[in-house]
Every structure is written in C-alpha cells, then in structure tokens.
Amino acid sequence: MSDWVEACAAGDIDEEDVMRFDHGGRTFAIYRSPDDDYFATDGLCTHEKVHLADGLVMDDIIECPKHNGRFNYKTGDARGAPVCVNLRTYPVRVDAGKVLIQVG
C-alpha cells in the first residue's frame, strides 16, 4: 500500500499548529510541530467526534476543543480523561514543499 496523497503546502500550517484535511470521505488532522516536523492523525477526537483541527497544539500535544481531551499527536496516545482511546496516526513526508500523508 502506498496511498500517498497531497494534503497541503508545507507553509499552509503555522509552526505548532494543526490543519484539517478531508479526503475520500475521511477527515484527518495534519500537524506542524515546534521542531518543524509534520505529523498526521485521524481528524476526529476519539471521545466525541469533534474536529481536532479546531484545538490547540502545545509541544507534542493536541487538545480537543470541546472537552480538552489530550493526545500526543506524534504517537496518537490518549493522555487522560476524557479521552481513553488512542488516536490513529499516519505516515507523513514533505516532498517539494508539499505535505503528503499515507492514508491507506
């Protein structure tokens, strides 16, 4: 499987921020870390299906905008109540200024 799809331009996301990306009827969240690395996870919180792209990125953490549930967006690990289920992560690469994620 090599379902790499172009999500956005690298410059579309500010450092330490997140952006929503919809593809094939699914929704993803693309992150740019403070170290200028890119990551991707499922776009909806595992607690109540709220878009994480409206949340806050702090270091390695994405905080859900509805109930402040926290995940490590690099590993997908849930970091305590009210989130109990980990977030699925996806491989990301930056190629010629474009952010690509492997959605398969």
Partner 1 sequence: MSTTPSRRDYSLIGRDAKLAVETGLSAAEWYHTDIPRKQMKELMQRSDGPAIRDTIIWLAALILSGAGAAWFWGTWWCVPFFFVYGVLYGSSTDSRWHECGHGTAFRTQWMNDVIYQIACFMIMRNPVTWRWSHTRHHTDTIIVGRDPEISVMRPPDLVRVVLAFVGVLDAWHAMSDMLRNAAGNISAAEKTFIPEQEQPRAIRFARIWTAIYAATIALALYTGSFLPLMLVGLPRLYGAWHHVMVGLLQHGGLADNVTDHRLNSRTVYMNQISRFIYWNMNYHVEHHMFPMVPYHALPKLHELVKHDLPAPTPSILAGYREMIPAFLRQLRNEDYFLKRELPPTARPYREEFHNDAVAAAE
Task: Provide the 8-state DSSP code for 82.
Answer: T
Residue 36 or 48 with smaller CB distance to partner 1? 48
Residue 78 or 92 with smaller CB distance to partner 1? 78
Name which position in 30, 42, 70, 90 contacts partner 1 (CB under 8 A).
70
Residue 3 or 48 with smaller CB distance to partner 1? 48
Q: Nearest Cα to 58, choosing from 73, 48, 46? A: 73
At residue 15, φ and ψ (nearest 5 deg) are -60, 145
Contact indicator for 12, 27 with CB cutoff of 8 Å: no
Those residues whose C-beta lies under 8 Å from the C-beta of residue 25, and which sit 6 or more positions away, are none
Residues 2-41 interacting with partner 1 (rule: CB under 8 A): 14, 17
Residues that bind partner 1 (CB under 8 A): 14, 17, 48, 54-56, 58, 63, 65-68, 70, 81-82, 84
